[in-house]
Every structure is written in C-alpha cells, then in structure tokens.
Amino acid sequence: MRCPTAIIWGDAGPYCNVAIARDLAARIPGAELNLLPGVGRFSPEHAPPAVLQLLSASLKR
C-alpha cells in the first residue's frame, strides 16, 4: 500500500489488541498509528470527537 494511512485504534478492545495495531502500522510504509486510551473496538462510536479530530488532522497532511 502506498498511500497516507491513519490507523485509529482503541486500546481497550477485547479482541483486537494493540499488538495487532502495531504490527499493521509496521507493515504499511508511512502509516501513522493513533491509539485511543480506554476505547474499545468501535472507536467512531465510542469516541466520536477523538476520531473526528484524528481524521481531520490526517486529511490535512
């Protein structure tokens, strides 16, 4: 994959742990990993303002 990639990941998800997010970010050149503390696997539903802020910042780059 050769495009700007923002990975937004909740660190409190019961199934998809942070190690998976770090591995994914390491495999995508130039990916930016953003961890949301205390947020589960449905980040846009559990933390809409934080996700919006991260997406907005990513789109401005």
Flag whether 29 is in a domain: yes
Residue 1, pLDDT score? 55
38 Cβ partners below 8 Å, 6+ apart? 10, 11, 12
The residue segments making up the domain with residue 55 are: 6-59
Flag whether 1 is in a domain: no
Work out how many domains the chain is built from and give that number.
1
Residue 32, pLDDT score? 94
What is the model's pTM?
0.84
Flag whether 22 is in a domain: yes
Flag whether 38 is in a domain: yes
What does the alpha-carbon distance between residue 33 and residue 13 come to, in Å, rounded to a whole number?
Answer: 16
Residue 13, pLDDT score? 78
